[in-house]
């Protein structure tokens, strides 16, 4: 299937809407993406004609819903190229998936005296759970430095692995602020050589590129449904089966047990062991539809479209006088954080909003990274999706020029 | 493209945003407080010099958007020389103004002061920006009460 951005846009009802009388130019997909009809339809269909609780009833509807829920798990397995469906655990989002690892692997498997190695470019979701682990257990927490170009300092990474104490490297696969795509394969090799496991936060990366957890040799990989054109309330933890077996459960309750007596309980095998309670059934079905949607277009085609957008944006934005871009990594995706010399990020986003342009202003859940670059006041961020067009980027650039005049 | 935004960003606001008044440290402050808007990273440090019941002087430092800088600047100008009771009254009224665009409760007293703050009334049409305008006033309350942390969250 060839990439036809007009046809794709027609799949997203919201893109035809107007904001304050202007056509919507949605450049905040990095925070959460819009939803195609295919996802909306699959969820509606489930609730209208195929809905019941899963794993619980021996009747037609429950069996149908269970099959659809498990089919979604298999779709995620194929999407990530995991070895088996049992390696896919559904969570509420990336945040919960990382917290699950911090809790079950961090407290259940890592030992005091060991360390977790994160980086300065992480989203708070990949910082705070590790701080909580550190504070509760005495496990050390280290951070890899970020270079001035917004890339990981690989020498610093090597140095911080050198003493062999690191039990887990937790690193983003693509920065939600800098757009930087990290050298995941190399990081996994270095972590493994130092005796550590590796977790990738794929919240951004999985949306823009084909991810193969086996080729990466990832031990853990997480992503979140709502950034992948799917619904909110569903996320994914991939983990190697042996790790899931070794880890104690996360939440306790129904579905995660194999037997319960008042004296004690035994755990169900993975992935059920980590999915206590009624799961996000409709959302899992929506996620399946989203995966089918991007797979039909083709992740390589999406990546090529976005590469062209990135090049276009680099050119257009660098022509805007007074604008500075945060980060200039070689390998990057469609996320651009910037500041204008004479306008604060919040004033700028209010102006752009008047033109129908939705961008995010602030520190994008990455305060340490903004501190690293001396930008405590925040930046504006434009982030692209598969429906973004070069014309929208031109419009943004023109609006930025006007905004600078406005504040002059 | 942005002409209708001149209601929010009036010349007076842009001017105070660029050149905030009383943007300095007070050497002889009696009260101070820090204001934080964790959502956007706006931060200010406010110092007061109370003499008996009167706010004799104010100074602030910090960083923020044009709205929050202008609001802090106008706040210091308006509150200087007022009694603490008047300062509290202005704070209540300003917050009503920023949130609703009007202040039906505003009496005839302090009418001139409220008139000076009127240019910020436009912020009520921008729900995500109201906090920018009120941060300085939250911080003023905290300073008057002896200097706690204020947050516009
Ligand atoms: C890199 C990264 N990690 C983690 C998250 C958290 O995702 P969620 O809020 O869906 O848990 C986000 C998005 O906000 C992100 O961009």
Encode pLDDT of A230-258 as tens digits.
999 999 999 999 999 999 999 999 999 99
- Tell which atom from ligand 1 comes closest to the C-alpha of A175: 1
Query: Is A104 found in the same domain as A13?
Result: no
Residue A186, pLDDT > 70, answer yes
User: What would the mean pLDDT of A198-223 be, rounded to a whole number?
Assistant: 98
Nearest CB partner across the interface for B41, out of A343, A350, A377: A377
| A351 vs B2, B128, B132: nearest CB | B2
pLDDT of res. A206: 98
Mean pLDDT, residues B84-109? 90
First vs last Cα of chain A: how many Å apart? Answer: 47
Alpha helix (H) ranges present in A58-127? 60-80, 94-100
pLDDT at B103: 84
Question: What is the span of the domain harbouring residue B18?
Answer: 3-147
The domain that contains A286 carries what CATH number?
Answer: 3.40.640.10
Q: Which of A341, A350, A394 best probes binding to B when mutated, by most B CB atoms within 10 angstroms?
A: A350
Predicted pLDDT at B149: 58
Q: What tokens does B62 get? A: 């910090």
**Does residue A77 share a domain with residue A47?**
yes
- CB pairs A-B closer than 8 Å: 57
Interatomic CA distance for residues A284 and B128, integer angstroms? 32
Same domain, A147 and A197: yes
Atom of ligand 1 nearest to the CA of A96: 11
Query: Chain B partners of A355 at a C-beta cutoff of 8 Å?
Result: 1-2
Domain with A191, as residue range(s), is: 40-295
Which CATH number does the domain housing residue B17 bear?
A: 3.90.1010.10
> Which pLDDT band holds residue A58 (cuts at 50, 70, 90)?
confident
Nearest CA in chain A to B44: A377
- Cα–Cα nearest to A69, from A88, A50, A54: A54
Question: Cα of A365 to ligand 1 centre, how many Å?
Answer: 8
Q: Which one has a higher pLDDT value, B99 or B104?
A: B99
Count, in order, helices (H) and strands (E) of chain B: 5, 4
Nearest residue of A to residue B123, measured between CA atoms: A350
- DSSP for residue A11: T
**Reported confidence tier of residue B82, pLDDT bands at 50, 70, 90:** very high
Same structural domain, A165 and A311: no
Helices B84-100 and B66-79 sit at what angle, rounded to 10 degrees? 150
**Beta-bridge partner residues of A362:** A379
> A317 and A228: one domain?
no
The C-alpha torsion from A243 through A246 and A251 to A255, rounded to 10°, is: 90
Interacting residues of A307 by C-beta distance below 8 A, sequence separation 6+: none
Contact A406 B67 (CB under 8 A): no
Tell me the catalytic residues of A: 365
Whether A380 and A278 map to the same domain: the answer is no
**Candidate of A123, A152, A366 to mutate for ligand 1, largest count of ligand atoms within 8 Å of Cβ:** A123
Would you tell me how many other CB atoms lie within 10 Å of the CB of residue A359?
26
Cα–Cα distance measured from residue B22 to residue A164, given in angstroms and rounded to the nearest whole number = 54
Higher-confidence residue of A16 and B5: namely A16
Do A281 and A322 lie in a common domain?
A: no
Confirm or reject: Cβ of A123 under 6 Å from ligand 1.
Answer: yes
Separation between Cα atoms, residue A85 and residue A79, nearest integer Å? 11
Q: Give the Å distance between the CA of A208 and the centre of ligand 1.
A: 14
How many CA atoms are closer than 13 Å to the CA of A216, on its beta-carbon side?
29
A276: its two tokens: 């206590």
User: What SS3 class is residue A404?
Assistant: helix
Contact A351 B5 (CB under 8 A): yes
**B152 located within any domain:** no
Residue A286: partners with Cβ closer than 8 Å, 6 or more residues away: A35, A39, A42, A43, A225, A230, A231, A234
The pLDDT, as a whole number, for residue B153 is: 47
**pLDDT band (50, 70, 90) for residue B152:** low
Instruction: Check whether residue A271 and residue A171 sit in a common domain.
Output: yes
Query: In whole angstroms, what is the distance from residue B88 CA to residue B92 CA?
Result: 6
Nearest atom in ligand 1 to the alpha carbon of residue A225 is 10
Closest CA–CA distance from residue A366 to any residue of chain B (Å): 12
Mean pLDDT on A100-105: 98
Burial category of A192 from C-beta neighbours within 10 Å (exposed 0-12, middle 13-18, buried 19 and up): middle
| Residue B142: pLDDT over 80 | yes
- pLDDT at position B41, please? 76
Q: Is the CB of A294 under 6 A from ligand 1?
A: no
Contact between A161 and A191 under an 8 Å Cβ cutoff? The reply is: yes
**Contact state of A376 with B63 under an 8 Å Cβ cutoff:** yes
ipTM above 0.95 for this complex? no
Write down the pLDDT at residue A356: 95
Q: What is the mean pLDDT of chain B?
A: 90
Q: CA separation (Å) from B73 to A239, B16, B56, B120?
A: 54, 6, 16, 12
Same domain, A110 and A149: yes
Interchain CB distance below 8 Å, A403 and B2: yes
Say which of A354, A361, A402 has its CB closest to residue B40: A361
Per the DSSP assignment, residues forming a β-bridge with A199 are A170, A220
Domain total in chain A: 2
pLDDT digits (tens, 9 = 90+) for A345-382: 999 999 999 999 999 998 889 999 999 998 988 999 99
State which of A276, A295, A314 marks the end of a domain.
A295
pLDDT class for B148, splitting at 50, 70, 90? low
- The structural domain count of chain B equals 1
SS (H, E, C) B41-91: CEEEEEEEEEECCEEEEEEEEEECCHHHHHHHHHHHHHHCCCEHHHHHHHH
Burial label, A296 (beta-carbon count in 10 A; 0-12, 13-18, 19+)? exposed
Choose from B1, B66, B153 for mutation: most chain A CBs within 10 A: B1
Q: What pLDDT, on a 0 to 100 scale, did the predictor assign at position B4? A: 82
3-state secondary structure of A348: helix
pLDDT at A199: 99
Q: Which CATH number goes with the domain that contains A19?
A: 3.90.1150.10
The continuous run of DSSP H or E covering A44 comes out as helix A37-49
Distance in angstroms (rounded) separating the CA atoms of residues A198 and A168: 6
pLDDT band, very low/low/confident/very high, at B146 (cuts 50, 70, 90)? confident
Nearest-angstrom CA–CA distance, B102 and A311: 48
Residue whose Cα lies nearest atom 13 of ligand 1: it is A31
CB A214 within 8 A of CB A82: yes
Contact present, A345 and A378 (Cβ < 8 Å): yes
Strands A357-358 and A25-26: parallel
Q: Locate tokens 């009254």: which residue?
A: B89
Average pLDDT value for chain A: 96
Residue A260, CA atoms < 13 Å, CB-side half-sphere: 6
- A162: exposed, middle or buried (C-beta count within 10 Å: 0-12, 13-18, 19+)? exposed
Dist. CA A39–CA A350, nearest whole Å: 31
User: Is any ligand 1 atom within 6 A of the Cβ of residue A46?
Assistant: no
Phi then psi for residue A3, to 5 deg, are -85, 115
Contact A181, A331 (CB under 8 A): yes
Say if residue A268 is in the same domain as residue A363.
no
For ligand 1, say whether the CB of A365 is within 6 Å of any of its atoms. Answer: yes
C-beta of A125 in contact with ligand 1 (< 6 A): yes
The β-bridge relationship of strands A166-172 and B54-63 is: unpaired
B2/A378 CB distance under 8 A:
no
Residue at a domain's end among A295, A320, A347: A295
> Which segments of A208-262 are extended strands (E)?
220-224, 235-239, 257-260
pLDDT tens for residues A285-340? 999 999 999 999 999 999 999 999 999 999 999 999 999 999 999 999 999 999 99
Q: Are residues A192 and A55 in the same domain?
A: yes
Residue B6 sits at φ, ψ, to 5 deg, of: -65, -20
Closest Cα partner for A188 from A203, A165, A170?
A170
What does the alpha-carbon distance between residue A24 and residue B127 come to, in Å, rounded to a whole number? Answer: 19
Task: Indicate the residue among A295, A320, A335 that finishes a domain.
Answer: A295
C-alpha A27/C-alpha A4 separation (Å) is 19
Distance of alpha carbon A28 from alpha carbon A12, whole angstroms: 15
CA angle (A295 as vertex; A291, A297 as ends), nearest 5 = 125
Whether residue A240 is found in the same domain as residue A369: no
């Amino acid at each position: 299937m060839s990439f036809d951005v007009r046809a794709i846009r027609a799949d997203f009802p919201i893109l035809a809407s107007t904001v304050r009388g202007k056509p919507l130019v949605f450049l905040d997909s990095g925070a959460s993406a819009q939803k195609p009809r295919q996802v909306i339809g699959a969820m509606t269909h489930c609730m209208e004609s195929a809905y019941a609780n899963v794993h619980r009833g021996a009747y037609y509807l429950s069996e149908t819903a269970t099959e659809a829920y498990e089919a979604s798990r298999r779709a995620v397995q194929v999407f990530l190229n995991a070895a088996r469906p049992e390696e896919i655990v559904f969570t509420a989002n990336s945040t919960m998936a990382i917290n699950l690892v911090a809790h079950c692997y961090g407290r259940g498997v890592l030992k005091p005296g060991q360390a977790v190695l994160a980086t300065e470019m992480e989203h708070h979701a990949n910082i705070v759970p590790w701080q909580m682990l550190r504070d509760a257990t005495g496990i050390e927490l280290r951070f890899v430095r970020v270079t001035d170009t917004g890339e990981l300092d690989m020498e610093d990474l090597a140095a911080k692995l050198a003493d062999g104490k690191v039990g887990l490297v937790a690193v983003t696969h693509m920065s939600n602020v800098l757009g930087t795509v990290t050298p995941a394969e190399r990081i996994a090799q270095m972590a493994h050589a130092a005796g550590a496991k590796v977790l990738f936060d794929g919240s951004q990366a999985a949306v823009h590129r084909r991810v193969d957890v086996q080729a990466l040799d990832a031990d853990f990989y997480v992503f979140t449904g709502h950034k992948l054109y799917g619904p909110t309330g569903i996320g994914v933890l991939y983990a190697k089966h042996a790790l899931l077996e070794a880890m104690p459960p996360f939440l306790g309750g129904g579905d995660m047990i194999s037997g319960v007596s008042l004296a004690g309980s035994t755990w169900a095998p993975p992935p059920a062991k980590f999915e206590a309670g009624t799961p996000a059934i409709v959302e899992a079905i929506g996620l399946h539809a989203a995966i089918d949607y991007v797979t039909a277009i083709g992740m390589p085609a999406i990546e090529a479209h976005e590469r062209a957008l990135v090049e276009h944006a680099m050119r257009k934005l660098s022509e805007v006088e007074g604008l500075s871009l945060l980060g200039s990594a070689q390998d990057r995706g469609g996320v651009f954080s910037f500041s204008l010399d004479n306008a604060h990020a919040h004033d700028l986003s209010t102006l752009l909003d008047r033109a129908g342009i939705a961008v995010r202003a602030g520190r994008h859940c990455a305060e340490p990274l903004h501190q690293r670059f001396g930008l405590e006041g925040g930046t504006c961020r434009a982030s692209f999706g598969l429906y973004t067009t070069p014309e929208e980027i031109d419009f943004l650039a023109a609006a930025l020029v006007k905004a600078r005049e406005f504040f002059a | 493209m942005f002409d209708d935004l001149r209601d929010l960003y009036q010349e007076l606001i842009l001017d105070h945003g660029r050149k905030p008044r009383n943007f300095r440290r007070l050497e002889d402050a009696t009260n101070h407080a820090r204001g934080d808007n964790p959502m956007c990273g706006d931060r200010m440090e406010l110092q007061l010099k109370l003499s008996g019941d009167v706010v004799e002087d104010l100074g602030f430092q910090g960083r923020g958007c044009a709205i929050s800088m202008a609001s802090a600047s106008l706040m210091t100008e308006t509150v200087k020389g007022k009694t603490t009771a008047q300062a509290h009254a202005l704070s209540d009224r300003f917050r009503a103004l920023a949130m609703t665009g009007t202040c039906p409760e505003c009496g005839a007293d302090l009418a001139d002061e409220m008139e000076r703050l009127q240019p910020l009334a436009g912020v009520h049409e921008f729900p995500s920006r109201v906090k920018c305008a009120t941060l300085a006033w939250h911080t003023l309350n905290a300073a008057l009460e002896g200097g706690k942390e204020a947050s516009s969250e």
